[in-house]
Amino acid sequence: MGKIRFLIGLWAAKMSIPVMRITGHNATNYPGQIAINICPDFLDHIGKPEHIISVTGTNGKTTVNNMIMDMFDAMGKKVLSNRAGSNTRTGITTALLKGANIWGKPKYDTAVFETDERSTLRIFPWVKPEYVLVTNLFRDSIMRNGHPEFIGDILTANIPRTSKLILNGDDLISVSISPENKRVYYGIDRLDTDLTECINLINDIRICPKCSGKLKYDYLRYHHIGRAHCEDCGFSSPEYDYAGRNIDYDKKTVTIADKNGSGVYSMVNDSIFNIYNMVAITALFREMGYPHEKIVEAMKHSKVVESRYKLVEENGVRIITQLAKEKNALAISRAFDYIKDVPGEKTVLLMMNCLYDEEHWSENTCWMYDCDFEFLNRDDIKEIVVSGPRARDYRLRLLFAGVPEEKIKLMPDELEGARRIDMKKGTAVCVFHGVDSFDLTQEVRKILVERAGKLEG
Ligand SMILES: [Zn+2]
């Protein structure tokens, strides 16, 4: 009976795919939902590729997942993935049923799945990854994710004991996941820009995970990313198996080394979190047995999705749009921190939104007080326009950050904000937008570019 029910679920789901395409729907989630509705233990029955890689973590998992897929493509290897689909149970179910024949047998030998941390509970009992790559664990949306140790515990409870972990050795929360599993650590050697005291509002790990003594940071990069030791019990950050070093921002290269060799890699993007992504991916491919030369070559074909950051120069004005993932205090702090690297005078437009559905729920705004809005309190930022449904909350938060009131302009309508923000030749306009407003951001950019084009003098 179970088998028949599974096949009916599989066929119904497969038949729904062309129907959805004809009707203009994105068939990345719904077919999986159909399959699960008909056969609740569908994931148990569906054939799976022999090698499964799962990419999870708070920040960067989509980027890493897509880079890995770009690299397999460049190597000419056909791999199943949930790219462009959802990273929850229905999204991965959809990918698996698309990657199986009509009898449910897998057509691929390898799969790469971006996996939502909390969904591992409903995925890993049946889809057992050979490798689990964790980018990092940070405080995220509090209403959804609680705190990072809670997410770490979910991963520990659900990652199969047979999975090999690829972990960020500079992130002591990730390091503590699934202590019994085989693992390798990656990280980036000390940088000139590292600090010894945390300048961010949030450092999610201040006490020793072993004895609860006070942790001493040998150096800190941002938040809790860095290396620490405990003077009470001797606990310390692990040695790296894969280390990023000799970062050359002029040549845009980074050396990634392990005990059997090293390679000089071209930077995909020069932000430090993307260098972490590169080292993590290199560790994964090395573990799979690829030589550095082959990984270096393949990585040249991977790219970071443009929608996260875009610079347009128009008539002497630099217009920068930067993704600042709303509700995720750490991701926004990283984005705000970047502004110190934008030379010259600038104005800022904040248009992140965390009020998706005014009738039903809204995120608690406490994340704004975990986020380093203080980084926007700079003399070279001449004006900050706050817009969107949270405009007043942003205004209040900026006042708490010490930004002079006369610098803040309240413009709840984003397009109006774009029309009214101060703009001068030789300066930059920095727009911070959320994940769900790419269309609106494009309109805002269009208005800014048009205005810049008309500037005289
Ligand atoms: Zn200790």
pLDDT value, residue 34: 94
Last residue of a domain, one of 199, 218, 234: 234
Say what the alpha-carbon torsion angle 285, 287, 293, 299 is, to the nearest 10 degrees: 20
Q: Is the pLDDT of residue 37 over 70?
A: yes
Amino acid at 148: P
Q: Is the dihedral of CA 215, 220, 225, 227 positive or negative?
A: negative
pLDDT > 80? residue 77: yes
Domain membership of residue 102 as a residue range: 2-188+240-299
Find the 238 Cα to ligand 1 centroid distance in Å: 14
Nearest to 166 by CA among 137, 134, 188: 134
**Ligand 1 centroid – CA 237 distance (Å):** 11
pLDDT tens for 307-323 read: 678 899 999 999 999 98
Closest CA to 33 of 84, 85, 80: 85
The whole-number pLDDT of residue 166 equals 98
d(CA 291, CA 357): 49
326/416 same-domain check: yes
Cα of 228 vs centre of ligand 1, distance in Å, is 10
Residues 194 and 179 in one domain: no
Distance 207 CA to ligand 1 centre (A): 8
Same structural domain, 291 and 366: no
Tell me how far the alpha carbon of residue 381 lies from the centroid of ligand 1, in angstroms.
42
At 380, the pLDDT band (50, 70, 90 cuts) reads: very high
Cα 232 to ligand 1 centre (Å): 5
Q: What is the pLDDT of residue 361?
A: 60
Number of structural domains in the chain: 3
Regarding whether 175 and 133 lie in a shared domain, the answer is yes
Ligand 1 midpoint to CA 220 (Å): 18
How far apart are the CA of 235 and the centre of ligand 1, in A? 5
Kindly state whether residues 311 and 343 are assigned to the same domain. Answer: yes
Q: If you measure from the C-alpha of residue 120 to the centroid of ligand 1, how many angstroms do you get, rounded to a whole number?
A: 30
- The mean of the pLDDT values for the chain is 92
49 CA distance to ligand 1 middle (Å): 42
Residues 347-351: what's their mean pLDDT? 97
* Overall average pLDDT of the 214-230 stretch: 93
d(CA 73, CA 303): 12
335 and 289 fall within a common domain: no
What's the CA gap between 133 and 65, in Å, rounded?
10
pLDDT digit string, tens, across residues 281-310: 999 999 999 999 999 999 999 987 656 788
**Tokens at residue 329, please?**
């205090």
Q: How far does residue 223's CA lie from ligand 1's centre (Å)? A: 20
In 223-325 the beta strands, taken as DSSP E runs, fall at 225-230, 242-248, 253-258, 261-266, 309-314, 317-323
117 Cα–ligand 1 center, Å:
27
Looking at the structure, tell me whether residues 13 and 131 fall in a common domain: yes
Please say if the pLDDT value at position 269 is more than 90: no
* Higher pLDDT among residues 432 and 21, named by residue: 432
Q: Give the separation between CA 198 and CA 223, rounded to whole angstroms.
A: 6
Segment 258-265 shows an average pLDDT of: 97
Whether 109 and 181 map to the same domain: the answer is: yes
How much distance in Å is there from the Cα of 258 to the middle of ligand 1?
28
Residue 391 CA to residue 409 CA, distance in Å, equals 9
Helix (H) or strand (E) holding 409, with range, is strand 408-410
Q: Ligand 1: distance of its center to the CA of 136 in Å?
A: 21
Report how far ligand 1's centroid is from the alpha carbon of 239 (Å).
17
Span from the CA of 214 to the centroid of ligand 1 (angstroms): 7
Mean pLDDT of 142-148: 82
**Together in a domain, 152 and 121:** yes
CA of 376 to the centre of ligand 1 (A): 36
| Ligand 1 centroid from CA 216, angstroms | 10
Identify the residue with better confidence: 114 or 334. Answer: 114
CATH of the domain at 335: 3.90.190.20
Instruction: Give me ligand 1 centre to Cα 137, in Å.
Output: 20
Calculate how far, in angstroms, residue 457's C-alpha sits from the geometric centre of ligand 1.
Answer: 62
Cα–ligand 1 centroid distance for 215 (angstroms) = 7
Residues 109 and 254 in one domain: yes
Residues 155 and 203 in one domain: no
Same-domain check for residues 288 and 319: no
Length of the chain: 457
pLDDT band at 73 (very low <50, low <70, confident <90, very high): very high
The pLDDT score that the predictor gives to residue 362 is: 65
Q: Is residue 332 packed enough to be buried (19+ CB in 10 Å), middle (13-18) or exposed (0-12)?
A: buried
Q: How far is the CA of 322 from the centre of ligand 1 (A)?
A: 39
How many angstroms does the Cα of residue 174 sit away from the middle of ligand 1?
A: 17
Distance in Å, CA 183 to ligand 1 centroid? 21
Residue 206 CA to ligand 1 center (angstroms) comes to 11
Is the pLDDT score of 72 beyond 80?
yes
Is 70 exceeded by the pLDDT of residue 67?
yes
Percent of the chain beyond pLDDT 70? 97
User: Greater confidence, 341 or 418?
Assistant: 418
Question: What's the CA-to-centroid distance between 166 and ligand 1, angstroms?
Answer: 24
Boundary of a domain, candidates 234, 259, 289: 234
Average pLDDT of the segment spanning 411-427? 96
DSSP per residue, 420-433: HS---TT-EEEEEE
Mean pLDDT score, 63-81: 96
Model confidence at 146, pLDDT cuts 50, 70, 90, reads confident
